[in-house]
Structure 1
Amino acid sequence: MSSTPEHVDVLIVGAGLSGIDAAFHLQRAFPWRTYAIFEMRDASGGTWDLFRYPGIRSDSDMFTLGYRHRPWLGDKAIADGDSILEYVRDTAAENGIDKHIRYRHRVLRASWSSAENRWTVTAEHDGEQVVITANFLFSCSGYYRYDVGYTPDFQGTERFSGPIVHPQHWPEKLDVAGKKVVIVGSGATAVTLGPALAEQGAHITMLQRSPSYIISMPARDAFADRVRRILPARAAYALARAKNVGLSTFMYQVSQRYPKRMRAWIHGLQERWLPPGYDIDTHFNPRYNPWDQRLCLVPNGDLFRAIRQGKLDMVTDRIDTFTETGLHLASGRDLEADIIITATGLNLTVFGGIDLVVDGREIKLPDAMAYKAMMLSDVPNFAFIIGYTNASWTLKADLVCEYVVRLLRHMDAKGYAKATPIRDPSVGTSPFLNFEPGYVLRALDILPKQGDRAPWKLHMNYLRDLPKLRYGKLTDPAMVFERAERRAEVAASE
């Protein structure tokens, strides 16, 4: 005779930056509600626990990457990975959230029953299946695979005599001192690793197929330092956060509207940071416009400093094949290497690879449409967090968490057991992420769609989302609520 599965009001999937945020908002608003966090790994922190490569740091300032409800008190605006991990875990411990985390629980399947108005979730824990039911399912698992990073199918890798390392699987002990290290890639990971390994005594060659936009940013925020001296911590944090939101939004909008001017401005900055006569047009002149892909930030110009000091060389070319001693390039040039690091990107996966089923019907994500970029069409009582591509992840996470709290309060007040976004067939479709890095383009066929009008259209604009998600109406024609006792559809406009 099978036992009745454990039941919680809300099941959160993922104990990283987003999952801890979701738990904080949930328990503050509803201290009587039960919840659990299923985390597939054996530690919390998500990205900041997974990545262990030298120099790992935030690619956004900590006054916006930090939680709205917990001031970042660290000295650096661009913080190292260990400090961010400590911040996330301290937030969980201070609020008792860590007691709700169940490690090594990989969610495999979530099945919604309209007859019971609840999810039945199946997870794997230490080789055995665990079943739990929940009224609401909240996916906070990010959007990339933790077990396998992306590496192109390079020719001849088996011939190379040295180690080939992907940053997502960094060895505990990798001695680079005095070694020739080639880093393949031009994104945030590559520009972080280059200067860090140069400081460890390696000579670095960064090999890029095409350049990225890279600009220097002070490691400390002078404005934040000033306001901290005269204001209480929370007020100073809020002010620094508001300033950085405004600045990043301004830069993004200018980049989108005046790309030639922004490109020229960045070029002018790089001329000052690089040695006289440096070939900027080859190595720092991307094919795309600013912010069509994420801008890479380097604290205190460490990448440019490494170039000036002769510790780091940039090479813009394509790999023809790996050789016994390094790489043979398409141009005919050979690069010697003792170690090759493939900082070539991520593999995306949606909602941690969970199979979603609603009343026996499998949800095919490419056929679904995202509602307010946080729920899915025809999927009841389900929300997810996918952060901004042009700003800090946590800005969006905070807004989604606040919206979910408001939604649950509305359902409590009206006696609703079920909230489902219903797709309008007349709404046109477009890719969920209007963003061009390789990891997104490779995954377009597994992502849901966005629509061509509200509330189905995605806006990568925090200031535009803020009034709608934090204060806007919860009711619109697309959202349908249902009461448990009669399961009659009630339009949100009623």
Structure 2
Amino acid sequence: MGERPASNRATDFDVLIVGAGISGIGMAAHMKEKVPGHSFAIVERRKNLGGTWDLFRYPGIRSDSDMHTLGFDFEPWKHEKSIADAPAILDYLGTIADERDIRRHIRFGHKVISADWQNSDARWHVTLETPDGERKKLTANWLYLGSGYYDYDEPYDPGFDFGEFTGQVIHPQFWPEDLDYTGKNVVVIGSGATAVTIVPSMADKAAKVTMLQRTPTWMFSRPAKDGIANFLRKVLPEKTAYKITRWKNIKLQDVSFKRARTKPEKVKQFLHKRIMKIMGKDYDLAPFTPPYDPWDQRLCLVPDDDLFEAMKSGKAEVVTGRIKAFEKGGVRLEDESFLPADIVVTATGLKLAVAGKIKLSQEGEPVDLAQRFYYKGCMFSNLPNLAVVFGYLNASWTLRADINSDYVCRVLDLTKRMGVDIAVPTLPENHGLEEDDIFDFSSGYIQRSKHIMPKNAVSYPWRLNQEYVLDRKRMASDPVDDGILTFYRAGAEVTEPAKKMAPAE
């Protein structure tokens, strides 16, 4: 079949990609390579591409996944460090956008407010807001949500009463550009990836940085440079070296996650041994001994032992305790100890959001994604032509972004060959699916947001899996036309699926 005729409206696209971060740039690159006949636009609410990596500006901001898996399957990571800082990641994304001619497709400063699916013309009718408050409308056959997983407007607020505290209070999501912390006492509240990054990064200039944690976190130290990756790059072609390193890291991640599930005590000993190697065999491991097993929450990465080195130098410390009150000059704990502070950093976590907080509707009826089941971790039950990226909790975000982008490109290709406009994962009302816990993780930010998350079934494909190796195989080898994903023409009733006009994959 020939290409779909171009619309006579400039605001009409085959695919509208929401977000110009890793997920959105990745989808655009996959489309350029795999379905070049389809038109697309990326809408990005911010002034720059990069998403998370452009938003967060706190000291030391870096990946907590290795860049051989946080990087895309189609673009080798060429930097020496595999644990990369935000500027290096932004450079990587910018290069992809420029080399693949993606940047001209991005409309910056465009925030999606709502999107209504209309069956009659098989289009999403999307309302956007520009920086000056103007409302714009455009339509697209497909909506691809690369809008991330957290609320850009507000972080999680644990409800602290800062009372008599007269110093500065800063949340990492809104870091001031001109913050001078030279010679000051800093208390960083939190024990997740953000706190673990900020503490050693501020310790060089600050008088002292204290990480105040309510509960310890399992820490995993590793070199920021991947020696094997850098060796392979010297002796093999770039793409081959990248492919081998990427697969090595995927397998290591998979094995270590499963080992933590089956032999948690062994993994605890292994993690503690690494800490004692740098801190000394007599070090009290209490600050790094959580009351839960490794991988019940995400492990925190400590590249090049930077947190432990800062602690050994006396410039940083980790304190476990509960806050009694914020007083003038510092923080009082329940055990009456006092932590002096000129600056308090509330690294207390993110507030999760679904679908970028876009108001989704179908024929004018509001869509509540918490009432829909995931389909292949990519689409939602009975919701046409909409795909989303929600990355792995136990592996790199980009691994899911890549397989979802590839999958949607295959769906786009098949619908074009069949001469249809609509693809919808069809789930009957009397489906009888057994529901599963969507996230088997005890992290606070996960538990707080379960009520807004889509449903998860016990059995595939109606679920969001946390097993990349298996997902990748299924997404690539299972037929797109699986009897669940149903195809229609514009205006057809959902009881009238299109007859096959092309061989199924």
The bucket for the TM-score relative to the shorter chain is: over 0.9
Q: Normalising to structure 1: TM-score of the pair?
A: 0.96
Alignment partner for residue 298 of structure 1, among 297, 302, 324? Answer: 302
Residue of structure 2 in register with 1:435 after alignment: 441
**1:195 maps onto 2:200 in alignment:** yes
2:476 maps to: 470
* 1:128 pairs with 2:134: yes
What residue number does 1:43 align with? 48
1:119 to 117, 124, 148: 124
1:357 and 1:63 map into 2 onto residues whose CA distance is: 38
% same residue: 43
Determine helix, strand or coil for the equivalent of 2:436.
strand
Q: Which of 257, 268, 275 is the equivalent residue of 1:270?
A: 275
Q: Is the 8 A contact 1:417 1:481 kept in 2?
A: yes
8 Å contact kept, 1:422–1:479 = yes
Contact 2:145–2:388 (CA under 8 A) maintained in structure 1: yes
Equivalent residues of 2:148, 2:389 under 8 A apart? yes
**Alpha-carbon distance change, 491 to 195 in structure 1, aligned in 2, over 3 angstroms:** farther
Q: Distance in 1 between matches of 2:398 and 2:310?
A: 31
Q: 2:397 aligns to what?
A: 393
Distance (whole Å) between structure 2 residues aligned to residue 278 and residue 427 of structure 1:
50
Distance 1:161 1:73 in 2: 46
1:461 Cα deviation from its structure 2 partner: 1.2
Which residue of structure 2 aligns with residue 326 of structure 1?
330
Report the number of matched residues: 490
Aligned to 2:4: none
Say if 2:16 is the partner of 1:8. Answer: no
What displacement does 1:308 show? 1.3
SS in 2 for 1:429: coil
Partner in structure 2 of residue 308 of structure 1: 312
Task: For residue 421 of structure 2, give the secondary structure of its aligned residue in structure 1.
Answer: strand
Opposite residue 444 of structure 1, the aligned amino acid is: K
CA contact (8 A) 1:431 1:448 kept: no
Kindly indicate whether the alpha-carbon contact (under 8 Å) linking 1:15 and 1:39 is maintained by their aligned counterparts in 2.
yes
Q: Residue by residue, what CA displacement relative to the aligned partner does 1:86-123 show, whole Å, maximum 9, x if unpaired? A: 11111111111110110111101110111111110011
Post-superposition shift, 1:486? 5.0
Structure 1 residue 162 displacement after superposition = 0.6
CA RMSD between the two structures: 1.7
Distance in 1 (alpha carbons) for counterparts of 2:482 and 2:433: 15
Q: Quote the residue 2:5 is aligned against.
A: none
Q: Which amino acid aligns with 2:482?
A: D
Say which of 207, 215, 233 aligns to 2:238: 233
Amino acid corresponding to residue 85 of structure 1 in structure 2: L
Alpha-carbon distance, 1:334 to partner: 1.3
SS at match of 1:430: coil
How is 1:70-89 mapped onto 2 (pairs within 5 angstroms)? Answer: 70-89=75-94
Q: Which digits, 9 at most, give the CA deviation of each residue in 1:355-407, with x for residues without a partner?
A: 11112221112111111111011110000011101111111110000000111
Residues 491 and 458 from structure 1, CA distance in 2 versus in 1: closer, same or farther, beyond 3 angstroms? farther
Q: Deviations over 1:310-355 (max 9, x none)?
A: 1111100011111111111111211111111111000111111011
5+ residue gaps, structure 2, are: 1-7
- Answer whether contact 2:119 2:490 (CA < 8 A) is retained: no
- CA drift at 1:5: 7.4
Q: 2:68: which partner in 1?
A: 63
1:163 aligns to 2:168 (yes or no): yes
2:3 maps to which residue? none
SS in 1 for 2:50: coil
* Alignment correspondent of 1:402: 406
Instruction: Give the corresponding residue for 1:343.
Output: 347
Letter in structure 1 aligned against 2:117: W
CA distance in 2, matches of 1:161, 1:38: 41
Report the counterpart of residue 497 of structure 2 in structure 1: 489
**Cα pair distance change 1:485/1:443, threshold 3 Å:** closer
Find the aligned partners of 2:56 and 2:203 in 1 and give their Cα distance. Answer: 19
Counterpart residue identity of residue 173, structure 2: Q
* Aligned with 2:375 (options 367, 371, 376): 371
Q: Hey, what's the Cα distance between the residues in 2 that align with 1:148 and 1:52?
A: 15
The one of 27, 32, 36 equivalent to 1:31 is 36
SS in structure 2 of the partner of residue 266 of structure 1:
helix
Contact 2:150–2:351 at 8 Å: present in 1 too?
yes
Distance 1:199 1:266, change over 3 A: same
Residue in structure 1 matched with residue 216 of structure 2 by the alignment: 211
Separation (CA, whole Å) in 2 of partners of 1:432 and 1:411: 30
- Is the contact between residue 255 and residue 290 of structure 1 (CA under 8 Å) also seen in structure 2? yes
Q: Contact 1:420–1:480 at 8 Å: present in 2 too?
A: yes
Counterpart contact for 1:5–1:131, Cα < 8 Å? no
Corresponding residue of 2:486? 480
Alignment of 1:249 with 2:257, yes or no, is no
CA drift of 1:422 comes to 1.9
Matched with 1:110 is 115
Per-residue deviation, 1:271? 1.7
Q: Which stretch shows the higher mean deviation, 416-425 or 318-327?
A: 416-425
Q: Shift of residue 158 of structure 1?
A: 3.8
| CA shift digits 1:20-64 (9 cap, x unpaired) | 000011122222221111101111100000011111111000111
Deviations 1:115-156 (A, max 9, x none): 11111001111201110000111000111011222231113x
Q: Distance in 1 between matches of 2:207 and 2:221?
A: 22
Instruction: Specify the code of the residue in structure 2 equivalent to 1:246.
Output: K
Residue identity matched to 2:426: I
Measured after TM superposition, the shift of residue 276 of structure 1 is 4.2
- Contact 2:120/2:492 (<8 A) preserved: no
* Cα distance in 1 between the residues matched to 2:499 and 2:362: 20
Kindly tell me: are residues 202 and 92 of structure 1, through their superposed partners in 2, closer, same or farther at Cα, counting changes over 3 Å? farther
Equivalent pair of 2:119/2:492 in contact (CA under 8 Å): no
User: Following the alignment from structure 2 to structure 1, what is the Cα–Cα distance between the partners of residues 110 and 309?
Assistant: 44
Q: TM-score, normalised by structure 2?
A: 0.94
Give the corresponding residue for 1:145. 151
Query: Aligned AA for 2:497?
Result: E
- Report the equivalent of 2:290: 286
CA contact (8 A) 2:121 2:491 kept: no
Report the CA distance between 1:483 and its aligned residue: 2.7
| Contact kept in structure 2, 1:275 and 1:308, CA below 8 Å | no
CA contact 1:385–1:397 (8 Å) conserved in 2: yes
Alpha-carbon distance in 1 for matches of 2:434, 2:499: 22
TM-superposition CA deviations, 1:196-238 (whole Å, max 9, x none): 0012243111100000011111111011111111101111111
Aligned equivalents of 2:147, 2:212: Cα separation in 1: 31
CA distance in 1, matches of 2:419, 2:38: 16
Q: Gaps spanning 5+ residues in structure 1: where?
A: none
SS of the equivalent of 1:196 reads helix
Letter in structure 1 aligned against 2:95? D
